[in-house]
Amino acid sequence: MDMNAIEIEGISKSYGSVQALRDISLQVRCGEIFGLIGPDGAGKTTLFRIMTTLMLPDAGRGRVSGLDIVEDFALIRRTIGYMPGRFSLYQDLTVRENLEYFATLFGTTVRDNYENIKEIYSQIEPFGDRRAGKLSGGMKQKLALCCALVHRPSVLFLDEPTTGVDAVSRKDFWNMLARIKASGVTIFVSTPYMDEAALCDRLALIRDGVIIGAGTPREIVSGFPFRLLSVKGDRMYRLLKVLRDTDGVISCFSFGDSHHLTYDPAKTDREKILGILTEAGFGGCIVKEIEPGIEDCFMWLSKR
Amino acid sequence: MWKYLLEKEFKQFFRDPGLPRMSLMFPVLMMLVFPFAVSMEIRNINLAVVDSSRSEESSRLIEKCISSGYFRLVSVCGSPDEAMRLMDDNKADAILTVGSDFSRDMETGDGLPVGVKVNTVNGTKGSISAQYLQNCIRMYMSGRNDSGTAGMPGIDVTERYYFNSYMDYKLFMIPALIVIGITMITAFLPAMNIVSEKETGTIEQMNVTPVSKSAFIICKMVPYWTVAFFVLTACLLLAWAVFGFVCRGNALWLYLYTTLDIIVMAGLGLLISNYSSNTQQAMFVIWFFAVIFMLMSGIFTPIASMPEWAQAITYLNPMRYYADAIRAVYIKGSTPLDVWYDAAGLAAIGAVMVGWAIASYRKSS
């Protein structure tokens, strides 16, 4: 299977005078977890709505599972699962009724697909008669995932599934995604949390409707041209000022109990900075090289 | 698939904390409470009398007025100013002034020594009070003439009310109330329902399923149509059981016109839901239409007495046609042949509404 699960090219969309998406192109391979990372308002949901046939793009073409997102919309709807960012199942129907309802709409039954959702559904099955509106946040999320999976979709679209979910549940959720992926489903997921980016096979960074970077997390991090230092010492505020004035330093921010400093390796290095600090009377500083994260890359890419 | 969609809508309908109870209470309230509340029969009009004549004749006239049952004597004042003050203080709705030459003038038949003043802050009440008072005076005069001596040649006018022999306001209002109820249920409740699905985002989830939009919308409306026919039937039965009113015409025509109205209202409901993105917006639009529909339908005030530009507007009001048809069938016993224009009006508005609604619904996707 070397066919791509999702291929989009040159997608643009405006709402009135606001351009939400600008010339977006992406390829998602079959069976991978692809992350769309970006802050609120970057255009993630708009892109989701176009890919899930809920909205027409102004320009550009796209295929999901080899089907055109405009012409074959009816067929795409049978082959994808979509979980919108907001919990949008019927709150006044019970857990079981919701699941059965969505199974029926896709012309199948819960029993036929029980194996497919068993792992997740078994966790909420004891509450089968409870109305969906009365479930806790984590359980709602599991129910929504079950409903999106009940018809054995080949591509699963998850729009900010972990927004507003606690850290433990988020970890749980990513474990579930890994297992869904193992069953052969391609997963397209968006998130505003940079720490989740590392859990994706490949990702795209989006900002103001433009893709500013794409690739595996490793590729993105290795594209970062600067180096990072963590600096810790006495008189932190004065230290920050001195570091910012140092030649070759791109930026410096306080980060917890230390300062994170970005420098251009062409102009300076760790030894030089240490020397400058000692000269300025900041002897005994702990200066460590650190690995840049996706967030650092995102910041840099979005400034470029 | 349709079966499940419908099953889900009915389930949600019956699980709603308000809707099932409301659809039961609606006909009961409409038939047992509103006919009395919206009655235009005016009673208990506070009457002040200025009797300058203080004769036997004048006291008999006053007695005649009071005994009609419509008036309540507040006070017999000595001067017109005193009576005016009572009206200013809102203690009197009408003033009857009897001139000092009353009994003499009655004998000669010169002039009219009786004055009537009414408070028309409430216009309807005022004009009806004036009419009642004049009736009483006329009755007194003719009564005097019958037994009288040098009587005037009185013209004897008798009125006969066709189709509603006792001018019973309830009989007039019951079909109108049915019209209002059905319109509310079939236009505004489904609109609210669709908009609330928009608000919660469930409509999004529905749209990514293979279910067609039209199937989804029709299944959403069916429960309300069922309720509408239930309410219509319940109202007819209650009107018969409580007031003894029966539909003069074939009740089948009521159902026929109701079906037509439902189609128009389904279009309107869908239109409203297409153009509003949250229930608050929808509520406001609904409120706007509800008021216009009711006030410009001829239900409360006759269309013929509106200015021409207002009459022109009523031609765009589906409730005008529906109310007219239901009243004609219920009170007069008309058939669709007699009120074919109402059917034509509803059909024309319905075609436009439904067409527009479908077009805008497609576009919004």
Record the tokens describing residue A180, joined without a space: 């869904």
Q: Which residue has the higher pLDDT, B42 or B167?
A: B42
pTM of the shown model: 0.77
The per-residue pLDDT for range B160-197, each reduced to its tens digit, is 667 766 667 788 888 998 999 999 888 888 999 999 98
Average of pLDDT values for B253-273?
Answer: 93
Average pLDDT across chain B, whole number = 85
Record the tokens describing residue A268, joined without a space: 């300076």
Domain A4-219 fold: Rossmann fold (3.40.50)
Q: Which residue has the higher pLDDT, B284 or B58?
A: B284
Average of pLDDT values for A7-11?
Answer: 93
Share of chain B above pLDDT 90, in %: 28
Largest CA distance in chain B: 92
Residue found by looking up tokens 């489904």 in the block: B190
CA A173 to chain centre: 13
Tell me the residue length of chain A.
304
Record the tokens describing residue B14, joined without a space: 């019956």
Positive or negative torsion for Cα A198, A199, A205, A209? negative
Q: Where are the beta strands (DSSP E) in chain A?
A: 4-15, 18-29, 33-37, 59-64, 67-68, 80-83, 155-158, 186-191, 202-207, 210-215, 227-232, 249-255, 258-263, 286-290
Record the tokens describing residue B290, joined without a space: 């509800």
Instruction: Round to whole Å and give the CA distance between A105 and B207.
Output: 11
Average pLDDT across chain A, whole number = 89
Instruction: Round to whole Å and give the CA distance between B48 and A120.
Output: 82
Instruction: Round to whole Å and give the CA distance between B244 and B235.
Output: 12
Q: Compute φ and ψ for A263, nearest 5 degrees.
A: -130, 160
Positive or negative torsion for Cα B116, B120, B123, B125? negative
Instruction: Round to whole Å and give the CA distance between A298 and A224.
Output: 9
Instruction: Tell whether the model's pLDDT for residue A204 goes beyond 90.
Output: yes
What residues of A are in contact with residue B1 (Cβ under 8 Å)?
104-105, 107
Q: Which distant-in-sequence residues (6+ apart) come within 8 Å of A52 by Cβ?
A: A76, A80, A82, A157, B208
Instruction: Tell whether the model's pLDDT for residue A1 goes beyond 50.
Output: no
CB A115 within 8 A of CB A190: no
Report which of A250, A249, A162 is spatially closest to residue A199, judged by C-alpha positions: A162
Residue A159: CA atoms inside 13 Å, Cβ hemisphere, count? 24
Q: Which distant-in-sequence residues (6+ apart) come within 8 Å of A111 by Cβ?
A: none
CB B142 within 8 A of CB B156: yes
What residues of A are in contact with residue B205 (Cβ under 8 Å)?
82, 84, 88-89, 102, 147
Record the tokens describing residue B9, joined without a space: 């809508």
Instruction: Tell whether the model's pLDDT for residue B112 goes beyond 70.
Output: no
Positive or negative torsion for Cα B223, B226, B230, B232? positive
Instruction: Tell whether the model's pLDDT for residue A190 goes beyond 90.
Output: yes
The per-residue pLDDT for range A92-150, each reduced to its tens digit, is 999 999 999 999 999 899 998 888 888 889 989 999 999 999 988 888 889 999 999 99
Share of chain B above pLDDT 70, in %: 91
Beta bridge partners of A189: A35, A158
CB B287 within 8 A of CB B270: no
Query: At CB < 8 Å, which residues of chain B contact A?
Result: 1, 4-5, 8, 11-12, 15-16, 200-202, 204-211, 365
Residue found by looking up tokens 């102004």 in the block: A58
Size of interface A-B (CB pairs under 8 A): 58
pLDDT of residue B148: 46
Q: Give the start-to-end residue ranges of the domains of chain A.
A: 4-219, 228-303
**Most A CBs within 10 Å, among B8, B200, B204, B205, to test the A interface:** B205
Instruction: Round to whole Å and give the CA distance between B46 and B345.
Output: 44
Question: What is the DSSP code string of B166-197?
Answer: T--HHHHHHHHHHHHHHHIIIIIHHHHHHHHH
- All domains in chain B, ordered by first residue: 45-146 (3.40.1710.10), 166-360 (no CATH)
pLDDT of residue A266: 86
**Most B CBs within 10 Å, among A83, A100, A101, to test the B interface:** A101
Positive or negative torsion for Cα B194, B197, B198, B199? positive
The per-residue pLDDT for range A251-267, each reduced to its tens digit, is 888 888 888 888 888 88
Q: What is the DSSP letter of A94?
A: B
CB B191 within 8 A of CB B272: yes
> What pLDDT band is residue B158 in, cutting at 50, 70 and 90?
low
Residue found by looking up tokens 């791509």 in the block: A4
Q: What is the CATH number of domain A228-303?
A: 3.30.70.100
> What pLDDT band is residue B149 in, cutting at 50, 70 and 90?
very low
Instruction: Round to whole Å and give the CA distance between B30 and B27.
Output: 5
CB B25 within 8 A of CB B18: no
Question: What is the DSSP code string of B74-100?
Answer: EEEESSHHHHHHHHHTTS-SEEEEE-T
* CA nearest to B13 within chain A: A92
> What pLDDT band is residue B150 in, cutting at 50, 70 and 90?
very low
3-class secondary structure, B276: coil
Instruction: Round to whole Å and give the CA distance between B151 and B80.
Output: 29
**What is the distance in angstroms between the Cα of B204 and the nearest Cα belonging to chain A?**
8
